[in-house]
Structure 1
Amino acid sequence: MQIGAFVLHLTRAEKRRANAHKLKNTSGLDAEIWPAVDGRALPSSDIAEILREQIFEPRYPFPLKTGEIGCFLSHRQIWAEIVRRGIPAGFIIEDDAGLEPGRFKNALTLAIDNIARLGYIQFQTRAPKEPRFLVDSAGGCALTVPQQGGLRTTAQMVSLEAAEHLLDLSRSIDRPVDTFVQSHWFTGLRPAVVYPSGVLEIGDTLDGSTIQGGRKPLLEKLRRELSRGKYRNAVTRLSRHSEAPCRGGLHG
């Protein structure tokens, strides 16, 4: 199967550039560096055109940072490129990731063998929540479909069909891309997870996050934690009752 591979790299994040090229050269795929959308540089008119207050339940409780908007648009660009090229699937990895070569190779094989049916496979850096459906396993890696999808977009594989589907549903956005992908009660596509995946989070050893929020007063932190807890509870409830196929994919 032909797999496109894209290393998302924010041009101004110079401390990540060497790592982006390392990922390109060690992924085992014919990868390319994809310039990420710089949310800071987006005109306010462009942001207003795509951003909405609420598109579906639950309402996302926080204003989106410009970095989060840029990240979402970056993933949309790659979904669109997968569709434009007509390639069966694309692997997307962000420039703050690291790889454990042996384990990643096993995870990659699992994903390639199952992406046509599952549509969206996350290469997670944290264990998925239970309950989950076991699809396949190999070399110490398990490919599962959790009832509740995980967050993070460190690395993932997206099929052509899923890319087209997610593009259509994200013409306007109201939350970060990882929470959008998690929302299978809206998208109809329950993301699968391979874990361990051989993908590591190493942003802190590079230059930290490119999506900065700044320091907040204690009362504001408490309010945010309450809002976050309420949102997570709603996600758990909606995940439990979602009509998205419990074994992954758009068609079950």
Structure 2
Amino acid sequence: MKIRLDLIFFQFLFTICAIKTERIIQYKKVILNSNGTISFEDELHNEIKSSTYLIAVTVQNNAHSLPTFLATLETLKCPNENQKFHLWFIFDKCTDNSYEIFTNWLAKTRQIFDSILMINTMNDKQTKQNHPELESFYFSSNLKIRAMAYALDKKFDYILFLNADTILLNTKIVEILVRKQKPIIAPLLTSSETRHSTFKVISGDEDYQSKFYSLIYDRIKLGCFKIDQVQESFLVDLKHPKISQILNLNVQNKLSDDENFSLFAQDFKIPLHVCNRDLFGYVPDFIKNKHDAFVHMRIEHLLKGPNKTYNEPLKVSDKIDEDLIQKTEKSKLGFDEIYIINLERRPDRRQRIESALDDLGISYKTIQAVDGRQINEEYIKSLGIKSLPDYRDPYNDRPLNYGEIGCFLSHYFIWKEMVEKKYNKIIIFEDDAKFVLGFKDIVKNLMNSINENKISWELLYFGRKIMRFKEEAWNYDVPFYKGYGLVIPAYSHWTVAYSLSLNGAIKLLDPEPLKVMLPVDEYLPIMFDKQPNEYWSSFFPKRDIIAYAIQPSVIYPTHYTGEPSHVSDTENTPILDTNKIEEDSKESSEINFDQNLDKLANNRAHLEL
């Protein structure tokens, strides 16, 4: 009897684990039968499989995002396996080629969907004249009411609202939301920088709003939460008895479509919910430049893999003719060259940063980094590399290692190439550089201001770790742009991203730093005389590089020490034994000297003969 109960218990535990992972979509109720067996009862199966579903999409000059959005739309799974999604697309005052992109795509994907209605708001006046029988709500200024009117008229069971710059990653999103059995429910879709999402909390004081919002947004607590407002993307159960009353809504023009919709729900006491249990996708940051916001969403997606691993780039639909897809004209932001330093054994990092720069429209040259795990004593001797005498890493209390040598050389060889090719200014990115929202616009504007105000510079940090914040000073000759300005940097770490002028590169090379090497991010502060270690600085008498930094940084590392998926490419490499290398060099020199003496003696003997 005890064995049978144990088996039942373990079977039950296994079932619960299965439900928490894969089977939550398939099963609603777990039943433990009297004979010890377990069965499942899906109370919603029949309703879900027999319902009809409409996806309503608002397009407002979304030519930049449509190719990616439509690619995700192709992958969504309709809960009713016997039917397909119905589509309702409204093109609201579009002046770009959004409509052309959509119709081109639709011609090749028509069989994926059921009925499709396309509306162009620029034709509303003509449509009213041609169809006087249509009710006023068919032409409502609130686009969601227009979609609801159509959905209710056609007797759909559910409607999912989307904007054409939304990215859905969960192909089963509709069924997941339907199973929550809420009249109006938004999936949690998050942005990158502005914490914009698909819901709002407006009740209570500011402290309560902030804490409750963070609890949901940051997924500190998982579930479905009652909230004050849904926005942009949400599902509506059209079978709810009070939903049809929305057609009588008196639209307040001062409010957005979503605010009007949420007010209607409150008036009729229809609860609004947001679900954050699953990872559903993204909405762009809420900023004026929609193109920049969408591009930033694409490049941030690359960093949001499981446990902070890298994701594959978001795909654009291959059902759209290439000539219709917007292409950002590439530039070097006014610099002569933009370098990426990448280790050959890190193709994931290379793909990530190259994809990000491609999306940003930035031209670049990828340089294979010197790998500290591949170099050896012979290579080090050939370059005449010696450690700064008695150098000890201040954090790990060890001498210079091969990883730090490889990192220094990777930057050093770029400095040399810059001087050889006489470039006036360059940017160097390490392959873990993460770009802030609006990076390209910020850099362009600040560089223009630097040039206009004739600011002389030789080293310009784009990203760094500030070690002595109180010792820094603003340069007020360069106007702030979107909160970013120019500072005279104090002691700083990191070489994740910086710019050099030709004079700056020459000054970095002049002291022959390979003969007194230390980590490159300790060397740079020495050369603009902000290194607090006076002993290290004493080996470099001329320390007059003109350095500045963009503050706040416009580049950060993708991963920090201790975070999931952080891998150091400099640590865990051999320690440089300078004494051994010097002894080997001395021994080699003595052998060569003896051999030369022997040759000289033989030559003399030959001459005497």
Q: Which residue of 2 aligns with 1:90?
A: 426
Q: Which residue of 2 aligns with 1:161?
A: 503
Q: Which residue of 2 aligns with 1:51?
A: 386
Q: Does 1:151 align with 2:493?
A: yes
Matched residues in 1 for 2:421 and 2:348: separation? 31
Q: Which residue of 1 aligns with 2:337?
A: 4
Task: Give the aligned CA root-mean-square deviation in angstroms.
Answer: 2.6
Q: Which residue of 1 aligns with 2:481?
A: 138
How has the CA–CA distance of structure 1 residues 82 and 145 changed in structure 2, closer, same or farther, with 3 Å as cutoff?
A: same
How has the CA–CA distance of structure 1 residues 53 and 103 changed in structure 2, closer, same or farther, with 3 Å as cutoff?
A: closer
Gaps of 5+ in 1: 215-252
How has the CA–CA distance of structure 1 residues 78 and 37 changed in structure 2, closer, same or farther, with 3 Å as cutoff?
A: same
How has the CA–CA distance of structure 1 residues 130 and 111 changed in structure 2, closer, same or farther, with 3 Å as cutoff?
A: farther
The aligned amino acid for 2:469 is K
Query: Which of 525, 528, 540 is 1:182 aligned to?
Result: 525
Query: Which of 567, 581, 584 is 1:208 aligned to?
Result: 567
Q: Is the 8 A contact 2:433 2:557 kept in 1?
A: yes
Please state how far the C-alpha of 1:102 moved relative to its aligned partner: 0.5
How has the CA–CA distance of structure 1 residues 65 and 171 changed in structure 2, closer, same or farther, with 3 Å as cutoff?
A: closer
Counterpart secondary structure, 2:550? strand
Deviation string for 1:70-123 (max 9, x for gaps)?
010000111111112211111001101111240453135424654871100111
Matched residues in 2 for 1:125 and 1:27: separation? 21
Counterpart secondary structure, 1:152? strand
Please state how far the C-alpha of 1:213 moved relative to its aligned partner: 3.6
User: What aligned pairs does 1:21-36 form with structure 2 within 5 A after superposition?
Assistant: 21-26=354-359, 28-36=361-369
Counterpart secondary structure, 2:493? coil
Question: Which is higher, the Rg of structure 1 or of structure 2?
Answer: 2
How has the CA–CA distance of structure 1 residues 10 and 162 changed in structure 2, closer, same or farther, with 3 Å as cutoff?
A: same
How has the CA–CA distance of structure 1 residues 76 and 99 changed in structure 2, closer, same or farther, with 3 Å as cutoff?
A: same
TM-score normalized by the length of structure 2: 0.32
Query: Which of 460, 463, 466 is 1:121 aligned to?
Result: 460
Matched residues in 1 for 2:457 and 2:354: separation? 29
How has the CA–CA distance of structure 1 residues 84 and 36 changed in structure 2, closer, same or farther, with 3 Å as cutoff?
A: same
Gaps of 5+ in 2: 1-333, 530-539, 574-609
Deviation string for 1:98-154 (max 9, x for gaps)?
1124045313542465487110011125456122232223221121113x2211000
TM-score normalized by the length of structure 1: 0.73
Matched residues in 1 for 2:495 and 2:567: separation? 15
Q: Is the 8 A contact 1:7 1:32 kept in 2?
A: yes
The aligned amino acid for 1:166 is L
Q: Which residue of 1 aligns with 2:551?
A: 195
Matched residues in 2 for 1:213 and 1:182: separation? 25
Q: Give the total of aligned pairs.
A: 210
Q: Is the 8 A contact 2:340 2:429 kept in 1?
A: yes
How has the CA–CA distance of structure 1 residues 132 and 39 changed in structure 2, closer, same or farther, with 3 Å as cutoff?
A: same
Matched residues in 2 for 1:72 and 1:112: separation? 30
Please state how far the C-alpha of 1:30 moved relative to its aligned partner: 2.5
Q: Which residue of 2 aligns with 1:39?
A: 372
Q: Which residue of 1 aligns with 2:80?
A: none
Please state how far the C-alpha of 1:159 moved relative to its aligned partner: 0.5
Please state how far the C-alpha of 1:41 moved relative to its aligned partner: 1.4
Q: Is the 8 A contact 2:388 2:515 kept in 1?
A: no
Tell me the percent identity: 25
Point out which structure has higher relative CO (alpha carbons under 8 A, 6+ apart). 1
Please state how far the C-alpha of 1:43 moved relative to its aligned partner: 2.5
After TM superposition, the structure 1 stretch with the greater mean CA deviation from structure 2, 106-115 or 122-131, is 106-115
Q: Is the 8 A contact 1:103 1:196 kept in 2?
A: no
